[in-house]
Structure 1
Amino acid sequence: MATTTLGVAVNGATGRMGYRQHLVRSLLAIRDEGGVELPGGQRVQLEPVLVGRNSDKLAAIAARHGIERWTTELDTALSDSAVDLYFDAQVTSARESALRAAIGAGKHIYSEKPVAESVAAAVELGKLADQAGLRHGVVHDKLYLPGLRKLRRLVDGGFFGRILSVRGEFGYWVFEGDWQEAQRPSWNYRAEDGGGIVADMFCHWNYVLEELVGPVTAVTAKAVTHIPERRDEAGQPYTATADDAAYGIFEISGGIVAQINSSWCVRVNRDELVEFQVDGTEGSAVAGLRRCRAQHRGFTPKPVWNPDLPVAEPFRDQWVEVPDNDEFDNGFRAQWEQFVRHVVVGGEHPYDIHAGARGIQLAEAGLRSSQEGRRIELTSTAAG
């Protein structure tokens, strides 16, 4: 079968996520295995063009992976007729203007989230891309995790009966940068650079809840900055102006209630860095990055509260492992392949800029709820 080539401008390839997950584990892995296979057997090969600010880093990455082209000028990449698709993994504050430029240059766009710093800006980006007839997508990587795919299988199979609630725990301890180096970039803790755990994670929680149980209709949240001072990549102290933890209650259509804690100031006492528990009338399940365990009502034990005796119930042993029943590729790569097929052959792709705008709307509502100390109801974005 014939193979066509899709040129992909990768902006932000020198960053942690841009390099490891998107370039190495997705684009280059696809390239090295012969491209993305289309329904008819034809293949689409991907040819990355690196874009960034640091020429030394770009040159080193290009040489390491056999990439022919790189540039520090976005306009150079966007004016290249061999570039069909623009991907953005920059810091949030730089993303909107670059996406606007890519749309203006007639490139299909795929982006990390959030796509902009406000709902209004995201909605406008979606409208501009639609008007230009361009394909557009936003990374929704959590949906492609093996654990959540197994959880989705249980939902689709009616395992839970009527779903009652969702409980989520996400986070880990991010070192302050003094006696141990921080494992996240410092911009994440500066609001002026687009940082903050609400802006970051509420976008994720919106699409996870939408996909698993239904759209969020209201939110009550408390966002806090637990660590007021951190040290940057040069070891210099700086004031943390962005929230590093958030505690949210999300109301979902149908009377379902979700509670999700997100924190970069928590030490992990769970099996995985993120876990979701779904409880229903017929059964419950707990899903993480890879594992998913379930307990049906017929096998649910009958604990009795008695603080005078030690706990004898082996609670964790009373859950059953949900089998893989499938092969799970890297989640970022799986969505890249889905989006490339969307660009080339069309078809439905629900994880677009409009979906990304809904995530930003939830983040904005969460911050507003925290600032005003009240429940915030959500309305439909102009994107629908």
Structure 2
Amino acid sequence: MNTPHEPTRPSAIAGYEDWPGYVRNRPRHQAATAAAQDLADALGVPAAVTRPDVTVHWAETYDGVTTSQLSWQLGFGPRTTGWLVRPAGTSGPLPGVLALHCHGGNKFGGADRLVELPQSHPSAAAARAGHYDGLALATEVARAGFAVLAHDTFAWGSRRFDLSVPPWRTASALEARKSQWREDGVEPTDADLYNAAAGFHEDTVAKAAGLLGTSMAGMVAHDDLAALDILGSLPGVDPARLGCIGFSGGGGRSLTLAALSPEIKSYVVTCMMATFGSLLPAYLDAHSWLLQTPGLWKLGDWPELTATSGADGFLVQYALADQLFPEDGMREAHRILESIHLAGSYTGTFWPGGHVFTAEMQNEAISYLSRALGAGSPAVHHHSPLSTP
């Protein structure tokens, strides 16, 4: 019983109190190969529940695409929101692409940053402007002839933790941030407040995951595998032609998903490729727990983990002025990838500029997937990247 001097300690995993029971009672994800199983075990990926029922909330057609809001309930935590985007007037079967949102320091939102919606939250618009050259990636991919599913993953958007009463360590750090905002004359938005709290809280989530025998990346992979299963089951989607695409943290998710699922035939990793060694000592702090799972390096370097995938081919796009990766680490990763993959299965392109998925890079990525998966209307490629080394 609490005394007046002992305030109730808030939940450290509010909204996810059923998460420990779910993970502890689930078997591990069963991968198709021994190498993929090693990765699943290292990340601690729980086996997904039987394919959940999908609810369609609304569908609207505008600017040549039909967008539907979907939702489903996984075995724990809040309900997942996703959006299916496809060319208007098509019945399929179309190749399917899972569009994987970035980390971006924005957990208030999730996949909404990738989709043109009748009404977008300002945080989604800001994410598009800052990271995607103002474009809605999932909608752009759909316009090229794909059925695209973009979903909120574990800890983002509809799947975010409830930090309305933050745990004490997070609350203390958040108060310091609020004090700085007041000093600077900044009036934070609801998204600003949540994202600041979530940034501090990610360490707590990673600690909880480790205690449970999983990881932040493993739980994200769990949600992504479930979404891929849903995408392949949707009417008008060809389950034999599935791919995925992601920028930054979404690029890491793309690599991991392709390594864990033989259903992925082609994929794109943008601004998320370098050697682990190049991150030490100066770049380690630039990255989240999505990349830095304890013990992952024992399985091989980050580029070497692509050998686990059975995809027919993949594209990696590097930004030479990327603030999160040193150029020597990116170029070394490119050399490793060329050495371990057959000619034609790996494509690496180097682009000028910083950590942004530019319109030109998106055009290249969409054209790549169009050729690989047989979509009907490849995007126009406007500009060429810098030549590879």
Fold conserved (TM > 0.5)? no
Larger RCO (CA within 8 A; separation ≥ 6) = 1
Higher percent of residues as strand = 1
Q: Larger Cα Rg: Structure 1 or Structure 2?
A: 1
Q: How high is the TM-score relative to the length of structure 1?
A: 0.31
